[in-house]
Each structure stands twice: as structure tokens, then as C-alpha cells.
Chains A and B, each alone.
Chain A
Amino acid sequence: MKTQYEKYYVPEQSHWPIVGAVALFLIAVGSGLAVMQTAKQQGGIGFYVLILGIAVLLYMLFGWFKNVIDESQGGLYSAQMDRSFRQGMAWFIFSEVMFFMAFFGALFYARTFAVPWLGGDSNNAMTNEVLWPSFEAVWPLLNTPGGDETKAMGWQGLPLINTIILLTSSITLHCAHTAMEHGKRTQLKTMLALTIALGAIFLVLQGEEYVHAYQDLGLTLDSGIYGNTFFLLTGFHGMHVTLGTILLFVVFVRILKGHFSEEKHFAFQAAAWYWHFVDVVWLCLFVFVYVL
């Protein structure tokens, strides 16, 4: 009863990883220098190094993914390999969840502890009395202890529209997935294109919301803990939507080229998982940042 095992594909040497390491090095040094030079308001090479790093990273991603796609199309990947990719992607998404947890944690801590304590709650009566006598603890924190003022972002306008957009996009993406599994390529293409379009619209509206916040509300990145958590949470989310849209776009191009089959479409699935994850993050954002 000796069973025949499929071979696990162990790739040959590859130069892409070291190119990727150099890219991350340039990005890290470039961002560091750029931030430092901006703070000192001097010019410098920081930004150029950063852009060079991003260029190298893109070059690496193209090359590496091209290798992987060719190997996949060449039939080198076994079912076990597919599982490795799937599990890898799932754990990557888990790490992203934990990254957002840090910022949601900060929001939670500020709302339930830091701000009330500054207002004299718990055993902090003297903190309030002596250090910040005129400070009143409310959320959203529109008047900081230091005296900054701002206005709150409501949830009814753009944020609500954006929520509906993202939710719809998750549904269209799900339809695309079902279409993929049933081999309906036209439906797959329409639904996926629709999803990408919705993602792009979301990003445009989010940009408009930021303009509104800065120009009409005076709500900026540095207007106290409310503005801090608002912009970092929505900002990182926006970056993830951008990445998700790009991923879906790449998958779309591959579909146009006739890649993927009813059973084997890991790249599509990975991008879809990522998209659903970004969607769930938005729902949490909508509830905890905007509504409550």
C-alpha cells in the first residue's frame, strides 16, 4: 500500500529575494531620511532614495510574480504547494489584523482611560484640578487639554456612502468568485471590473472626505487624539484599499489573458480574501471611529 506522493516544488536559486531586501533597505533609509529632512525643513536625498526603493520593489514584484505565474502555468505546483500559498496568505492577513489592533487599541485606551482620567475620573481628580483645570472629558475630543480645537466628522454623509460602496464591492467580488468556480468567464470579468471600479470610487471619496476634514472642519492629523486616531486608522485602511485594488487589477489582467481554472485560482482567492479583510476593517472603523 505504498502511496505515490506528489513532488513538492523547491525552486532553484533566485535573485529576486535579495533584490527585495535591497529595495526594503532603500525604502527604510529613504523614508527615515525623508522624514528627518522634512522635519528640519531642509532638502536632501531622502525622497529620491525612497522613490528609488519603491521602484526597485516594483521591479522585484514584477519579476518574482512573473516567475511564480510561469511556474504555476507550467504545472509545477502540486496541491500541497497550493496549500502552502493559501496558509501563507491567511497568516499574512492575520498579521495585518494585529497591526490594526494596535491602532484600535490606542483608540480604545484613549476613549476609556486616557481622556476620562485627564478629566478627573478614577483616582485622578488632582490631575484635572491642578494640571488641566478647564478640561472636560468628552468623546469625540474636540477641545484638547492643550487647547486645540476641531470639529467632529459625522457618519451620515460620505462615510455612509463609502460603507455602502465597500459592502457592495464585497458582494460583487463574491459573485465573481462564484462565476470563476462555474467557469462563467464573462460574468467573472464584469463582476471583477465592477469591484475594482467600486474600490477606486471609494478611494476618490475618501480623498474628498480628507479635503472636507482639513478645509471645513479643521480636523487634521495633529488636532489631538481624536484627529490622530481618525487619520491613522482611516489612512492605513485607505492604503490597504489601494493595495487591494492593485491586487485585484493584476488578477483581472491575468483573467483577460486566460489564466486560472475552475479549481486552481489561488491568486484570485488571495486577492479576494484580502479584499474581504479590508472590508471588515472598514466596518469596524465605521462603527468605532465614525458612529460611536
Chain B
Amino acid sequence: MTTIAESHHHHHAPTGIKRWLFTTNHKDIGTLYLLFALLMFLTGGAMALVIRAELFQPGLQFVEPHFFNQMTTVHGLIMVFGAVMPAFTGLANWMIPMMIGAPDMALPRMNNWSFWILPFAFFILLMSLFMEGGGPAFGWTFYAPLSTTYSNDNTALFVFAVHIMGISSIMGAINVIVTIVNMRAPGMTYMKLPLFVWTWLITAFLLIAVMPVLAGAVTMVLTDKYFGTDFFNAAGGGDPVMFQHIFWFFGHPEVYIMILPAFGVISTIIPTFSRKKLFGYASMVYATASIAFLSFIVWAHHMFTTGMPLAGELFFMYSTMLISVPTGVKVFNWVATMWRGSISFEVPMLFSIAFIVLFTLGGFSGLMLAITPVDFQYHDTYFVVAHFHYVLVTGAVFSIMAGAYYWLPKWTGNMYHIGLAKAHFWLSLISVNILFFPMHFVGLAGMPRRIPDYALQFADFNALISIGGFAFGLSQLLFVAVVYKCAKGGQKVPAKVWDGAEGLEWEVDSPAPYHTFSEPPEVK
């Protein structure tokens, strides 16, 4: 083994652009993922602001309807595949090896490949916006026949962009699973794994299981549109509803891909600032696993109004409601962890508490949507938009913010400007509710989603929503400022940044050295 030890000598951080292009270091790659996600978050956010500007008043003001549709579509695609998923992958890259005491990810070169595919994929997607005919305009769900018969000529570019995004996600997920299964330090048994690692293990499984199904769906869209197949066309014996089945077989697990790592982050932060052990560790693990299992058998709750047979409607209604049981277990455990803890309200904790309250609200609207007969009223209205923005923005995105504020000092070695960070939190919290809460009301009153114009009676609420939207969007610039300043410098922090924190990542210096745990640590 001496040869290896030698080849490790000159393993200091390389410099310049080559460091980032050729890197095999999980920390570098984690940073790349996180910065890319931030860039995409701002890009997708800008598109959301175009949407909200148009919807500030009834009537058509700023953009053509076709361009409006491109904005809703690309906003959704960017936020899901470009912001939330890469951000969690970035956290996984940074934290999982440190949390389990591994020297790096299991397959470091493939890790680099997974990342660098992403900028190219999104370049293709964004490029198509500027081509003749425009970018995808059929919604992030690209239902047939919108994406086949009625889509513009550039749809093939969308298809192949999704293909390479999928390749990237699958390789990233394989890396995560293999790292966790194979690289744990001796003594780190499964039931000692930090919950963030557990949730990512299960998320990675979901990714490998459903990203290929998405690839199948886009492939059939491609052949239907360009090669004369009839998968989604009744005249040839196919069925447009079949598209929705295939898409949502991917799509529902996908939404859990975006929330399970969030559960992991919150389960890490709440105990730290409550200065107690997580309540019900084992039940958290089992709840995560059952959510993952159930997520495969609920997909048609997105399709209640497509005319499924009654048995299907009932099955998917009940299975969907079942999901709220393990979800409830989790919320209960977080609250029980805080119960009689000595709580302090540092920035990550503020975001985590907001997560618990507001994510639960999103869960409740989900439960309402799960009731088949009432979903006939809610479906395709702003109520659905309110639901998924509560679970995704105040859920997934808030947890990413919480995680960033929690680990940023570990990454940079500096404490960030707490005043600015708190301002970011409070402004986000208030504006996000002005933005999304009224959507429940206009939705219940019947305002359809994905339409650039609306009936006059919705005008007041929409103006309010748009104001909230711009306030939330601009508040995020504070986050950029906090991160930038923190990377530049600040008050130095010790190895254990938060006094209540537990885990191997707090045993290494801050900032974490370029290589950690080349020798596996002792796990008690």
C-alpha cells in the first residue's frame, strides 16, 4: 500500500480554472453544484417575475401569450431540475463523505462528469428560448398532445436536454448510494447514520428508479412528434392519458426526491438548536422509507379528472392519504424534539421552524387535493399552485437555505453577517406568504393556472401576489450578498461551529481541509 500513500503527497488544492474543470474532490464538486443551483435559482426567479409582472393586472400587458407559456414552462423546469435538485446534490457532495467519515465520494471522476453535464443541459434549454419558434411552452409536465401535435419545432432540443440531465442525475445518485453503502467508516452502522445521509440514500434510490422512466416518456414524445408513432394518439391505438400515467409515475416520486433531503436537513438542524437528541430516530428512518415506497403507488392523484375508472380514483385517493401518516410522524418528531429543549433561534433554526409550519400547511392543502371529488374543483387552479409552492418553496427551498446557513461557516471557516442573514429570513418569510397564501383563495374561486389573463374579480389578490413575488425575489439578493461576504472573510469559527451540533463533520477544522478522513475516524 506504500505506493498509494506516495501518490497522495502532492494532493493539495490545485488552483485556477483547471481546479474546477478537472476536479475529483467532493468539496469542490459540492461547491460547483451549489453555485450552479444558485445561478439557476436566480434565472428561474427572473422568469417568475416576468410571469408575475404580466399577472399584476388583468389583460395582456407585457408579453405575448406564447412567451408567457414559455416562461411558466422553463421556470418550472429550471427550478425543479436546475435549482432544487442540484442544490441538494451539492449538499450531499459536501456533507455525506464528511458525515460518514469517508475520504471522498466512491467514484470521484464520475462525480465531476455528473456535475459538468448540467451547465450544458441548461444551456441547450435556455438557448432554445432564443431560437425561431421559441422554447418549450407546454408546461414543465409536457403533457401530450401539447408537447407532440401542438408543440413548436424545437421540442427535440428539449427532449435531448432532459436526456442528459437524466444521465447526470442517475450517475450522481449511483455515486451517493455506493458512497453510503460502501464507504462508511468502521463502526458507522446503518442505524447510526445521520438522518441527512439516510434521507439521501433513499432519495438516490428513487432517482435511479424514476429518472429512466422520464427518459422513456421524453423518448415517446420525440417519436410521436417526429417519427410518426402514436403512443399518445388514439387514432393509432394509443392514448394521451397514457402519457400522464408514465409522466406521473416519474413525477410523483420526483416531488419526494425534492423533499426527502429537506427532511434530512431539518432533522439535523432542529436537534442542534434544541440541544436535544432527535426524537424518534428509528421512526424517522422508517417513515422516510415508507414515504418512498408509497410514492410509487399514488401517481394518478394528478389525474383524477382524466376519466379514470372509479376503482382507480378510489385507490389513488386512499393511497395518497396514507402518505400523510408517515409525513405526520416526521412533523410530530420535529416538534417533539423541540419540546422542552433549550431552544435558541440562530438563522438555520429560524428557517427550520418556518419550514415545519409552512411545509405542514402545504401538506394540508395536499390532503385537500387528495380528496377526489373536491379535486374536480381544485384541479388546474391556483390552489394547486399554492399547494406545491408551499411544499417546494417554503419546504424544499427553505430547507436548502437552512442547510446553507448551517454549514456555510464549516465550508468557508467564517461566520456570515448574522444581521443580514436575519433580514433575509424575515423578508423572505413575510413576502413568501404574501406571494403564495392568496393563491389559495383565487384558486378556490376558480382562477385557472398557466393563463396570462384572468377575470376581473381576481385583480386585487393578483396585484397583492405580484407584490409579494417581487419582494420575495429581491430578498434573495440578500442571500447572495451574505454568501459572497462570507466567502470573502469574516469572523473565524472553531471546528464545532454550533455548540449543540453532533456529527463527524464538526470534528474536522473549519474551513474543512481539502481532504478529510484519508484515515477512517473512530466511530463510537
Q: Which residues of A contact B (CB under 8 A)?
A: 3, 5-18, 20-22, 24-25, 27-29, 31-33, 35-36, 38-40, 64, 74-76, 80, 83-84, 87-88, 91-92, 94-96, 98-99, 101-103, 105-106, 109-110, 113-115, 117-118, 122-123, 131-132, 141, 144-146, 148, 221-222, 224-228, 232
Contact = CB atoms under 8 A, between A and B. Distances in A.
Contacts of A36: 153-154, 156-157, 226
A28 B163 CA distance: 8
B98 interface: no
Contacts of A3: 186
Per DSSP, chain A at the interface is helix
Interface string B14-54: 10001101111000000000000000000000000000000
A107 to B, nearest CB: 10
Interface in B92-107: 102-104, 106-107
**Of A9, A25, A105, most B-chain CB atoms within 10 Å:** A25
A114 B231 CA distance: 10
Given A12-B11, A20-B113, A32-B156, A99 B237 contact: no
Contact of A98 (B14, B103, B210, B237): B210
14 contacts: A5-B519, A5-B520, A6-B1, A7-B518, A13-B19, A40-B153, A91-B173, A91-B174, A106-B246, A109-B245, A113-B242, A145-B236, A228-B231, A232-B220
B236 A28 contact: no
Given A15-B22, A131-B234, 19 more contacts: A7-B4, A7-B8, A10-B108, A11-B108, A11-B109, A24-B167, A25-B121, A28-B161, A88-B107, A92-B170, A101-B216, A102-B213, A106-B246, A114-B238, A141-B237, A145-B235, A145-B237, A146-B235, A224-B230
Interface residues of B, number: 84
B70 to A, nearest CB: 17
Contacts of B164: 24-25, 27-28
B294 interface: no
Interface string B424-436: 0000000000000
B498 interface: no
Contacts of B228: 221-222
Contacts of A31: 156, 160
A275 to B, nearest CB: 19
Nearest to B522: A2
Contacts of B22: 13-15, 17-18
A10 B170 CA distance: 21
Given A21-B117, A98-B212, A225-B231, A16 B109 contact: yes
Interface of B: 1, 3-5, 7-8, 11, 14, 18-19, 21-24, 102-104, 106-110, 112-113, 116-117, 120-121, 123-124, 153-154, 156-157, 159-161, 163-164, 167, 170, 173-175, 177-178, 181-183, 186, 208-213, 215-217, 219-220, 222-223, 226-231, 234-239, 242, 245-246, 249, 309, 515, 518-520
Contact of A228 (B24, B183, B212, B230): B230
**Of A8, A11, A21, A148, most B-chain CB atoms within 10 Å:** A21
B239 A113 contact: yes
A36 B213 CA distance: 23
Contacts of A87: 106, 177-178, 181-182
Given A221-B223, A221-B228, A10 B103 contact: yes
B354 to A, nearest CB: 36
Contact of B24 (A10, A74, A94): A10
Contacts of A21: 113, 116-117, 120
